[in-house]
Amino acid sequence: MGSLNRLSGRVQVAASLIGAFIIWELAVRLLGIPEYILPAPSKVLLDLSQNLHVVLPAAYYTLQPMVLGFLMAAVLGVALALLVVYSSAFEALFYPLLVVLQIIPKIAIAPLFIIWVGFGLPSKILLVFLLSFFPIVVNSIVAFKSIEADVYDLAKSYRAGRLRIFWQVELPSALPSLFAGFKVAAALSATAAVVAEFVASDNGLGYLLLGYNGNMNTSMTFAVIVVLSLLGLLLYGAVELVERWMIPWHVSQRRDEFAVGRSPT
């Protein structure tokens, strides 16, 4: 029943998107909106199909810093969160610095990355890393600090060792909040990658966006935005798949069972 309900939800989402595209198409044609202002979705898809040989290599180029920056943020973010949670000295030293760094607009200092690490892929990975890092580390700190004391007492009553408590108690309890941070970071990674390409790049979807927009090619601008959105959705979906695999027991993964009208007994 849960699988059927998930399928029904996906059908509803697809129907909503198709309905929005139909309304968009009709509005452009009936109102006679100029193509350079708002192209019809059929025109966007046609131009995209004719320029896939240009867009797909650029999408692959943009996907690289997205994935690499996100993975670096996930690994280092969780590691630093553990140091904050389990070391009061490190927390006193690092957490105020984390708050200050969070306030600094990372996008505004993106041009400095070109000076520090060069013009190529590393500067883009660094910006994706910075934008993805803070949601992950903050959610990870909250996740590990929010574990109930009773859970620790129960584990200690069975004389579980420190490492066993971490793997069997702390980490499973923290995973739902960890994945919440991962999904926020995955959504931000596409924005960070394209902004990095705005600053300095001769390839990628951000570079194409600047070129098409400068030439008033609105339909291809929309086409590139669609592809960029799909990349962000792809990374977000991958994180969600891993979440379903790792925490199938969590209430967030069982919500479909409660959406079919089952009454508690």
pLDDT digits (tens, 9 = 90+) for 3-52: 666 666 677 878 888 888 899 889 888 888 888 888 989 999 999 999 99
- 265 located within any domain: no
Please indicate, yes or no, if residue 24 is contained in any of the structural domains: yes
On whether both 160 and 66 belong to a single domain, the answer is: yes
Query: For residues 64 and 80, what is the distance between their CA atoms, to the nearest angstrom?
Result: 24
Closest by CA to 41, choosing from 230, 240, 258, 219, is: 219
Supply the range of the domain harboring residue 6: 1-33
Residue 55 resides in a domain = yes
Domain annotation covers residue 144: yes
Contact 127, 72 (CB under 8 A): no
Q: Is residue 263 assigned to a domain?
A: no
For residues 139 and 207, state if they share a domain. Answer: yes
Structure tokens that stand for 72 in this block: 């670096």
Looking at residues 230-236, what average pLDDT do you find?
92
- What count of other Cβ atoms lies within 10 Å of the Cβ of residue 33? 13
Same domain? 225 vs 205: yes
If asked whether residues 21 and 91 sit together in one domain, one would say: no
Same domain? 7 vs 123: no
Percent pLDDT > 90 in the chain is 30
Q: Compute the distance between CA of residue 240 and CA of residue 108 in angstroms, rounded to an integer.
A: 30
Q: Say what the pLDDT of residue 171 is.
A: 83
Same domain, 122 and 210: yes
Same domain, 117 and 135: yes
Integer Cα distance of 175 and 186 in angstroms: 16
Q: Is residue 264 in a domain?
A: no
How confident is the model at residue 86, as a pLDDT?
Answer: 85
Residue 159: inside a domain, yes or no?
yes
Pair 11, 61 in one domain: no
- Condensed to tens digits (0 to 9), the pLDDT of residues 179-227 reads 999 999 998 898 888 888 888 777 889 999 999 988 889 999 999 999 9
Residue 209 CB neighbours (<10 A): 20
- CATH number for position 52: 1.10.3720.10
My answer on whether 49 and 79 are in the same domain is yes
Query: In this model, does residue 259 exceed pLDDT 50?
Result: no
Statement to judge: residues 143 and 238 lie in one domain: yes
- Residue 126 CA to residue 120 CA, distance in Å, equals 11
Q: Are residues 57 and 93 in the same domain?
A: yes
Q: Are residues 12 and 94 in the same domain?
A: no
Report the domain count for the chain: 2
- Of 209, 59, 190, 57, the closest CA to residue 127 belongs to 190
Contacts of 105 (CB under 8 A, 6+ apart): none
Give me the pLDDT at residue 155, please: 64
Residue 74 has pLDDT above 50, yes or no: yes
- pLDDT of res. 260: 43
